[in-house]
Each structure stands twice: as structure tokens, then as C-alpha cells.
Structure 1
Amino acid sequence: MPTSTARSTQFLLERFSPKQILSIAAANRRINLWEGAVSSGKTIASAWAWMMFVPLASTTGELVMIGKTRDSLYRNVLQPLMNPEIFGELADQIDYTPGATSARIFGRLVHVIGANDIKAENKIRGMTCAGAYVDEATLLPENFWDMLLTRMRAPGARIYASTNPDSPTHWLKAKFIDDPIQRASMKVFPFVLDDNVHLDPEYVAHIKASNAGLFYKRFVLGQWVAAQGAIYDMFDSTTQVVDILPMIRKWVSVGIDYGATNPTHAVLVGLADDRRLYVVSEHRYAKGSASLSLTQAEASRRIVQWLDNVPRHGRVRPQYVVVDPSAASFKSQLLQDGLNPTAADNEVINGIRLVSNLLANDQLRIHRSCRELLKEMDSYTWDPKAALDGHDAPLKQNDHGVDALRYALRTTRLLWQHQLRRAA
């Protein structure tokens, strides 16, 4: 090794947790997988083990590092590896320019690959690999992982991978971790948040407070649990539905889920003096048996009229008007009618996680007049068919208001997240 065994050992003892050190020492199988909670130390441990392997890897094969995208791989793994405060002298052994398709580690050429769709397997087809590092393995297409295994043909080839837990029916869990035949060629190192003994206790408390329900089980406890039942099971209508609103200090956003044939639903969100977010009012138009579909111009005009006369508040113009990104022509209509729309951040699971955390920490409340949204908060459920297929998705029914709420909050989080009251 370029660094002495004594120096490496001392560095590990000073910077790494006992769980990390034990996993690095035991990573000697064809597949070595670190899985579990966020911030638990699994990525750093897996990256160190990878760095220990690279100089020893067979020169008869190629080395690859893989993430969902090259940008995410750089952010999650390569950038920390290049930080001497985290990896000491090893950081000097990496030469990489963000966005590049290759790196040099200990002088070895390492291909840097993004694998975000089923076509990605073509990027490694035909390779003979001596080693691979995989970031967030559950986010890779299953066919890519299968192809990667067939490419590990050089003598002593190994895979080093990390991931957060997902559904217990996800292919990585069901077909590899839980399969006795596959497991025989694997070492799996499970981590929980509390395994990282070097974290600031205040940060640990923040992470625990910032995850609720399904997300707490996965991202704090490191459990592979299914998304099932009510999505917002932490919503407490006895305390989080209000009849009287505090003073609104900032009008944050309107979230709009536009429907040409489905209902159009808009929700107005404000930040109040008590440092909570409030859904102050809603606007909804649904075609009924006796009503007609609205043109985009008519739907836009009705939203403007609603914002001109919000009950209890009069004319309101929030900082953001956030619209479903698929409704491009409706955005143009809103712009013509004097609003300045923004395409919503439509990362569904991250949006659901954000709303869940706000509810769990009593940082989000809803005015009782938002009747349609409140109906959806109770009926919004995980799709059981999606769970059987190994991925998380909400059931696509009665979701127009909750989608609008997700747009309004997820897209604007940088505006309000540091102004909220602390979780109890």
C-alpha cells in the first residue's frame, strides 16, 4: 500500500467507527454490500474498502465506479474520497474532474459510469472487470446489476456497493441478500444511524426528527420495510386541522395540480408567526354530471379570481406559483393572466417524505375550509401492486390535492426550511 499499515490503522481508529472498521476488514467476498440508514457511515466505509482494493486488483481487467448518474457518484463518493479531512493521504491518490468519464486512482484508470435506465447495461457490455464500486445499488436497473456480475471475470474480481434499504421485495433484497445461493458469495454489512459514533448528537436528533413512519424505519433504523397502508398515517386531524389561523408572515406558494379531464386543485401555503406552515385555502374545480370541462383560459382565470379574494385574507400573491411540470401549456396561460408560474419539483417519494416529516414534527397545519384536501389526506395510500414489484408508489386516485401540496412544499423548501419551529 502507498501508505503504511501503521498510519492507515491509526487513521481508521481516529476517524472511523468500530462498525466501519470491522466491515472494512471483513470485505473479502465477490460482492461486498454496505446497507442501512442514512449518515450511518456505510458509504465512507465502502469507499475506504474500495480504495484498499484498487492497488491490488488484477491488471487483466478494468475498474469501474457506478452511480445512478456521474454527478450523484461524484457528490456521494468521489468528492468525499478527494477530501483529505475525510480520507487523509488517500485523497492524494485520486485524480478526477467532475463530469468526466474516467478517473485515476493510484494511477489505475477507473471508468466512471452513470446507470439511470435499462439501456445503461450497454455501457459495460463486453468489459472484463477486475473490480467495481456501486453507489446506491437499489437505484440501478436490475438488468445492469445482472450484466455487471457477468463482467466480473478477472481473477479475484470484487464488487463494493452501498445502498439505503428499500422495499423487502426489491430485487436486490429478494434475489441477492435473501437468497441463500447468492448470499454465499456476499458479505452484507447492515448499519443503523446510531452505529456512527462520530456524529454530533444534535445532528442525530435532527435526522431522527426529520424522518417519520416508513422513512424512519428505513433511513434511521435501516430496515427493509414495505410501503403499505395510509401514506400520511402520522396526520392528526385533532391538532393539525385548525379553525383559526395565526398571522401569516410570508405567503410562500400556491401548488397547482392541473387536470384537463381530472379535477384541477390548488392550495395556498403560508408561513405563520408561530413558525409553522399553513394550508390557508384551496381552490378546486371538478367536472360533475351537470358541469362542463373548463378551457385552460377559464381554469387559469378562476385561479386568479380565487387569489384575488382568498377567504379571510383578500388579494394574495405568493412568492411562488408552482405547477405540475407536465402542464406546460397551462403554465403559459397562467403567465398570460399575470401570474409567474414555476415547474414543480416532481420527485414523488421525496415530496411525500417531506410532507410526512412536516406533519410528524407538527410543522404543517391545514385550515378546516380545505375540505377536499383533508379528505385526500386520510385516503391517500401506497399502491400494493407497486410494493409487490419492489418499488414505492402512491395509489393514483384521489390525489390531486395532495399532489398540489407536495408541489407547493417540495419546490419551495429552501425558502422556508430554516424558519420553521424546531421539532418537539
Structure 2
Amino acid sequence: MLRDVPLPLSPAQIRSVVESQDAPIALWSGAVSSGKTIASLLAFLLRLSVTPDQGLVVIVGRTLQTIERNLLDPLSSVHLFGPLAKHVQHTTGSTTATILGRTVHLVGASDARAEGRIRGSTIALAYVDEATLVPHAFWMMLLSRLRVGDQSRLMATTNPDGPFHWLKKDFVNRGREVGLHHWHFTLDDNPSLDPGMVERLKRQYTGLWYRRFILGDWVLASGAVYDMFDEHRHVVDILPYMRRWTCVGIDYGTVNPFSAVLIGQGEDDHLYAVSEYRHDSVLARRQLTDAQYSLNVRSWLANVRRPGEQGSDRGVRPEWIFVDPSAASFMNQLWTERVPGISPAVNDVLDGIRSVGVALGSGLLRIHRSCEGLLGELPGYAWDERAAERGEDKPLKIEDHSADALRYALHSTVHEWRHLIDYEEATSAAA
């Protein structure tokens, strides 16, 4: 089976594939794009070919969509798995796949309720994608379902998290006691990566994310969330002509501040936080209704000065307006008033923070000095160290309203701007 894979495999990948076959629990961790997923999937296929019929085979991920994107798409790729790919059949949206002739159950495990999906099952082989994102209770239930004697196997991959995460503390650190074999991968363990791609990956991440996703360290989230923020580098007084008015991100508040941040793409292909609307009911001594907020946001957008254009015309129409997904009543207000482009923001907090960090760290994002609320929050936006000691990565929920609006805007459009990153500029800035 190893000979069927067209991609070159490193000694570390081959060793992990072979050694994992006898491991009750096998874990691949380390840097992004380090080859751990390819190695683990190949190990899974090898084990699947000899797995007894009396138990289920399951693949677990955060959602069905992530399972399809992260695992089934690669497994179905002839470029990656050669002739093995034709033995993978799956219909998008289905909760089962057929792999090497075996029915494989696809289980999304985004919260603690997911354990009910495997309760009572007898599982012979399980594969878990991004194990640190799986609820602890689900992981423990999964272990209890591996009941085909000494033939049951659990295989998992992950990017590192904090040193107090349950997976690190209770399993990686106690590997010999719990039957876990662990392989740590770096970018050098993936021989198929182009050197230029390696450099680009290294420039995408800074601070905490660099240590976890590039060095593969299990490190504590502490200090400033956006430790790469530099007023001299990121704050501008003059804006260029905007080639595109990309979006607005809105963090809704009644007692807490309401914040909206407008993002544009300049003619220089940088992203700009051009303008901000903010209402703090405590300072104003007045709470606003959804209808009043809608009127104020529309009035604000209608009066934004368009930089680089001749004359005194004002007003912009962003392509999207991404709203805090918990603010259902406000979105309904906007929809009722036929405001175009309204959508719930993508609210994956850690992934969103990482997207903002990439935009800041690469130098792609710049912020106009008029965005006083945002500029006041970014330097003090910090990790909750008490939560980190409990194994959780959470920012402190203090003075974060404009920061959240920025996160909603950038993370909801990350697919629109990642290609704009100038890696040469990022490299020189990092140096």
C-alpha cells in the first residue's frame, strides 16, 4: 500500500505509518502542512484493510463538512493516494462513506451532545481529525466504545494547543500508561512541500500561532492576543482609493457598546479598516432600539467619505454586512428594511483571531486613525490566563467590541483576501 502512494514520503511519515498499526491509540501532531494528515490517513487505510467486521468504523471531525474537506477530499485524490483513491466513495452530505469496501460512519463532534451519536456502539476502528477540538466527554465515550478486544484502534491528528489541554495533560504526557503512541511532525517532515511554500507558511503566523502551528509547540496562550500589532506599521492617516468595499463587521450590543467596522480593499491591494460606527450606551446614557441602530448604520455608511475620489460625494455600499450571529432580532430588522448583503458572521473565535493575526502579521491590514474604538481595544486585547490554565484558549471578554467586529469582517471573508498577502513584504517586516 505504501508503494501505491505517488507522493514522496519522509522517513518520519513511513515510520509513523508502520509503528501505528500496533498502537492502541496513535496520535500525529505538529506543524501545519507537515505531512501528518497524509501519514495518518495512509495508516488508517492500512489498518482498515485488516479491521475485523464485528465493529463499526468511524471517522470523527468537528463537523461533517470538515470531515469532507480535510479527509475525504484528500482520500479521493488520485494525486495524493494514486489507485487507492478509486476505493473511496462518498456523496456530499451523507453521513457514511465506503472506503476499501467498508462502510465508514462520519460523526460530527462539535459539542458535548455529540457523544450520544456513538453511545451504545461497538467500534473497531476510529479516526479523529483535529483531536483538540473534540469535546473531552466525546473522546472518553469514544475510548469506551473501542470494544473489539485488542484489535480496536484509535488514530488521531491535531495541531498543538495549550500545555494544560486535556489531550496533552491526560494522554500525551501519560502516553505509556494509556497506550498512546505519539509522533511529532515539523515542516521538514513533508518532502512534497516546495521551499517557497514553507517560507509562505512561516510568514502567515506570528506569536502564539507561530509556535503552535509552525514549531509544533504546546504553549500557553498568554499576554496580548495581537502581539504583532504595531501602531507605526498598522495605523495610517491617509487612505488610498478603494478598489472594493468588501464588508462591514458588526458586534451588537445594547448595554455593551455596539460597534461596526468598514473594510475596503485599496488600489494597493492592502485591506483597510476605513471607518467605524460605535455607540456606547453607558457613555451616551441612552440605549437604542434595533430600528435606531439600523438607521444609524445606514446613515453612517451613506456618509463615509470615499478616499481618492474627486469631488465631495460620500457614501459606500459594502458587498456584505456580517452581523454578530447572536443578534437575530437586529438581522431581522435589517432584512425587513431590505438592507442588502446581510449575513450572520462566521463566529469561530480562535480561527477568527488567527485570521486577524495573519492579516496584521503579514502587513496586509491597515487601520485608519479615525477608528478610535478599534485602536483603543487592540493593544489591550488579551488572553484569559486562568482559562488557559484550565486548558481553554479564550480572550478576556473586556473591551473587545470593535475587535470582535473586525474579527467578524475579516474571518467571514478570509477566502477573499488570503491571496493578497505579499510574502516578500511580510518577510522583510519580520526581519
CA contact (8 A) 1:321 1:339 kept: no
Aligned residue for 1:380? 381
Match of 2:19 among 20, 26, 30: 26
Say whether 1:192 aligns with 2:186: yes
> Which amino acid counterpart does residue 268 of structure 1 have in structure 2?
L
Q: How many Å separate the matches in 2 of 1:360 and 1:290?
A: 35
> Which amino acid counterpart does residue 386 of structure 1 have in structure 2?
A
Q: TM-score normalised to the size of structure 1?
A: 0.91
CA 1:129–1:324: 2 relative to 1, 3 Å: closer
- 1:136-194, CA deviations, whole angstroms, 9 ceiling, x for partnerless residues? 211212122112222222232221111111121111111100125535x1210011122
CA contact (8 A) 1:121 1:144 kept: yes
Deviation at 1:311, TM superposition (A): 5.1
> Which amino acid counterpart does residue 372 of structure 2 have in structure 1?
R
Aligned residue for 1:405? 406
Say whether 1:350 aligns with 2:351: yes
Q: What's the C-alpha RMSD, in Å, of the aligned pairs?
A: 2.2
Q: How many Å separate the matches in 1 of 2:75 and 2:36?
A: 13
> Which amino acid counterpart does residue 339 of structure 2 have in structure 1?
L
Give the aligned length.
416
Matches within 5 A, 1:5-404: 8-11=1-4, 15-27=8-20, 28-155=22-149, 156-179=151-174, 182-183=177-178, 185-288=179-282, 291-310=285-304, 313=307, 314-335=314-335, 339-340=339-340, 341-404=342-405
Q: How many Å separate the matches in 1 of 2:284 and 2:113?
A: 48
Deviation at 1:14, TM superposition (A): 5.4
CA 1:110–1:363: 2 relative to 1, 3 Å: closer
Q: TM-score normalised to the size of structure 2?
A: 0.89
Structure 1: runs of 5+ lacking an equivalent? 1-7
135-144 or 286-295: bigger deviation: 286-295
- 1:94-118, CA deviations, whole angstroms, 9 ceiling, x for partnerless residues? 3433333333333334333222222
CA 1:250–1:104: 2 relative to 1, 3 Å: closer
Structure 2: runs of 5+ lacking an equivalent? 308-313, 426-431
CA contact (8 A) 1:252 1:318 kept: yes
> Which amino acid counterpart does residue 160 of structure 1 have in structure 2?
M
Aligned residue for 1:5? none
Q: How many Å separate the matches in 1 of 2:416 and 2:86?
A: 38
> Which amino acid counterpart does residue 226 of structure 2 have in structure 1?
Y
> Which amino acid counterpart does residue 254 of structure 2 have in structure 1?
A
CA contact (8 A) 2:6 2:80 kept: no
- 1:380-422, CA deviations, whole angstroms, 9 ceiling, x for partnerless residues? 1112232122121211110111111112222233344434544
Q: How many Å separate the matches in 2 of 1:246 and 1:70?
A: 42
Secondary structure of 2:281's aligned partner = coil
Deviation at 1:337, TM superposition (A): 5.2
Secondary structure of 1:34's aligned partner = strand
Same amino acid, percent of matched pairs: 47
CA contact (8 A) 1:352 1:406 kept: yes
